[in-house]
Chain A
Amino acid sequence: MNETDIRTILQETLGNIAPEMDLQKLDPAADLREALDIDSMDFLNFVVAVHRRLGVDIPERDYTKLLTLDGAVNYLNGKIESRQS
């Protein structure tokens, strides 16, 4: 699992939540809540889906690290690498 795989999984997950958005055009540094118009329920569903697909524990206090696509990729990649080492 590398960064590209994680990014693809995140885009798929976000695509299920905001199906009408073009995720290819999503600014990876933009706040997902604003860029994709997602509320706290959508965001929780995003966390639930990522947790299920990657098996990574995402405590609530870390939510702020997942607010952009780049941030989420970095955070999850770090978690997966520390698990493997």
Chain B
Amino acid sequence: MVDFRMPSLGADMEAGTLVEWLVKPGDQVKRGDVVAVVETQKGAIEIEIFEAGQIEQLLVETKVKVPVGTPLARIRTGSDAGAVSVAPPSPVPIEARPAGAVPPPAQAAPAPALPHPPPMAIAPGAPRRDRVSPAARLFAQQHGVDLAAIVGSGPAGAVIRADVERSLEATTTAAEKKRPIGLDLDAMRTAIASAMARSKREIPHYYLEHQIDVTACEQWLASTNAARPPEQRLLMGVLTVKSVALAARRFAAFNGFYRDGRYEPAAAVHVGMAIAIRGGGLAAPALHDADRLSLDQLMTRTRDLVARMRAGRIRSSEIADSTITVSSLGERGVAALYGIIYPPQVAIVGFGKVVERPWVVDGAVMPRSIVTTTLSADHRVSDGHAGALFLAEIGRLLQEPDKL
């Protein structure tokens, strides 16, 4: 039996609110399954589980805010089969079961340790019972609609189901138009402020810039995309992310975490991609194993990540485990950007706008497409010399886009 706990989704997270359970007692889960949605300062995050087994018990009700590390659910793992009868760690009595027994059906699971929320009470001032149709009352309860606020269109002014539906529709569309569900931009601003202030306080940044000729990338993209329908076309952004991922694999001093006074290089390369949120806000969810994905796979993953980020549906592993960050603010027209490292990472690479410039190639001046690429890195971990080699490697990789 193991506990599934409220995960830490970043150095600054202290607590999270359980918004939704996506499993119930008795469900089988495997590593990587999304089991719950948690509201944090970074928005609603889909929480994955890292143990395989069966959900034994849910310990926290929805809408409850709990500190990081709090057990949320109890999981019966495969190794429990023979051990259950010995000493169940749970205070709730569990029936002894012979080894290899069939998992208990859902209804046999012990009741949740926390009391169920009280049944929805009818708010004072709600229409009298005879003025609300049973179907309308049920629908309102299921969707959390306040009946008191609804003007009925049924006989004698009774509230009927259609009235409740209209009310629900009006409130949800108004809210959805403002911002995606699950994203609290004020909270996100607070989280950014906290992480960036900590970065500038603790991390001795150094900054380098390198002008990279991306003419070969543009030509390769033009000829590759010419033969493809729009949904299969690639963007410059996937070439730059891939080049950074490959360079990060070679230069370990830029890919990892600085924690508790020491640097731990990461074994994998998870590139955090800075994504601007419409209406203000920024997040950098991870493209896992970006160094090992093909350009087509990276494009698909990027498209998916941007769409889910903007809709406020990001998974826990994506928000917490980036090993290096890439920002492509050049999209918005700036020539260059000097990023602030997202702790505990140790480097951020920035790509400016692609501009056509007179460039000397083999002794002749010609128009070439140039992008200013910058590196902000942690001087506790690396020096400018290594940083220069790292940036040069990114530039070299971008000369041969067909090999990325």
Are both chains from one complex?
yes
Interface residue ranges, A against B (CB under 8 Å): 18-20, 37, 39-41, 44-45, 47-48, 51, 58-61
Interface status of B210 (Cβ within 8 A of chain A): no
Interface status of B279 (Cβ within 8 A of chain A): yes
Distance from A48 Cβ to chain B, minimum over Cβ atoms (Å): 4
Distance from A84 Cβ to chain B, minimum over Cβ atoms (Å): 22
Interface status of B8 (Cβ within 8 A of chain A): no
Q: Cβ of B226 and Cβ of A59 under 8 Å apart?
A: yes
Q: Say yes or no: A48-B302 contact (C-beta < 8 A), given A19-B177, A40-B235, A40-B236.
A: no
Q: Which residue of A lies closest to B234 (CB)?
A: A44
Q: Say yes or no: A41-B178 contact (C-beta < 8 A), given A20-B278, A51-B230, A59-B226.
A: no
Cross-interface CB contact of B235 among A19, A20, A44, A61, cutoff 8 Å? A44
**Interface size (B, Cβ < 8 Å)?**
22
Cross-interface CB contact of A48 among B231, B237, B276, B306, cutoff 8 Å? B231
CA distance A19 to B311 in the complex (A): 11
CA distance A41 to B303 in the complex (A): 7
Q: Which residue of A lies closest to B235 (CB)?
A: A40
B176 cross-chain contacts in A, Cβ below 8 A? 19
Q: Helix, strand, loop or mixed for chain A's interface? A: helix
CA distance A37 to B231 in the complex (A): 21
Interface status of B95 (Cβ within 8 A of chain A): no
Cross-interface CB contact of B279 among A20, A40, A45, cutoff 8 Å? A20
Q: Cβ of B177 and Cβ of A20 under 8 Å apart?
A: yes
Cross-interface CB contact of B179 among A20, A41, A51, A60, cutoff 8 Å? A20
Q: Cβ of A47 and Cβ of B230 under 8 Å apart?
A: yes
Q: Cβ of A44 and Cβ of B237 under 8 Å apart?
A: no
Q: Which residue of A lies closest to B305 (CB)?
A: A41
B303 cross-chain contacts in A, Cβ below 8 A? 41, 45
Q: Cβ of A40 and Cβ of B178 under 8 Å apart?
A: no
Q: Cβ of B233 and Cβ of A20 under 8 Å apart?
A: no
8 closest Cβ pairs, A-B complex: A39-B331, A48-B230, A47-B230, A51-B230, A48-B231, A60-B225, A40-B235, A41-B306
Cross-interface CB contact of A39 among B177, B178, B222, B332, cutoff 8 Å? B332
CA distance A47 to B222 in the complex (A): 16
A20 cross-chain contacts in B, Cβ below 8 A? 177-179, 278-279
Interface status of B144 (Cβ within 8 A of chain A): no
B233 cross-chain contacts in A, Cβ below 8 A? 44, 60
Q: Which residue of B lies closest to A51 (CB)?
A: B230
CA distance A37 to B333 in the complex (A): 11
A18 cross-chain contacts in B, Cβ below 8 A? 278
Interface status of B118 (Cβ within 8 A of chain A): no
User: Which of B229, B230, B276, B306 is most buried by chain A, counting CB atoms within 10 A of its CB?
Assistant: B230
B236 cross-chain contacts in A, Cβ below 8 A? 40
Chain B 325-367, CB-CB to A under 8 Å as 1, else 0, gives 0000001100000000000000000000000000000000000
Q: Cβ of A40 and Cβ of B229 under 8 Å apart?
A: no
Q: Which residue of A lies closest to B236 (CB)?
A: A40
Distance from A42 Cβ to chain B, minimum over Cβ atoms (Å): 9
CA distance A51 to B233 in the complex (A): 13
Distance from A34 Cβ to chain B, minimum over Cβ atoms (Å): 8
Q: Cβ of B237 and Cβ of A41 under 8 Å apart?
A: yes
Docked complex: B80-106 residues within 8 A CB-CB of A: none
CA distance A59 to B230 in the complex (A): 8
CA distance A59 to B226 in the complex (A): 6
Q: Which residue of B lies closest to A60 (CB)?
A: B225
Distance from B311 Cβ to chain A, minimum over Cβ atoms (Å): 11
Q: Cβ of B235 and Cβ of A60 under 8 Å apart?
A: no
CA distance A44 to B306 in the complex (A): 13
A48 cross-chain contacts in B, Cβ below 8 A? 230-231
CA distance A50 to B38 in the complex (A): 35
Q: Cβ of A60 and Cβ of B331 under 8 Å apart?
A: no
Cross-interface CB contact of B226 among A19, A51, A60, cutoff 8 Å? A60
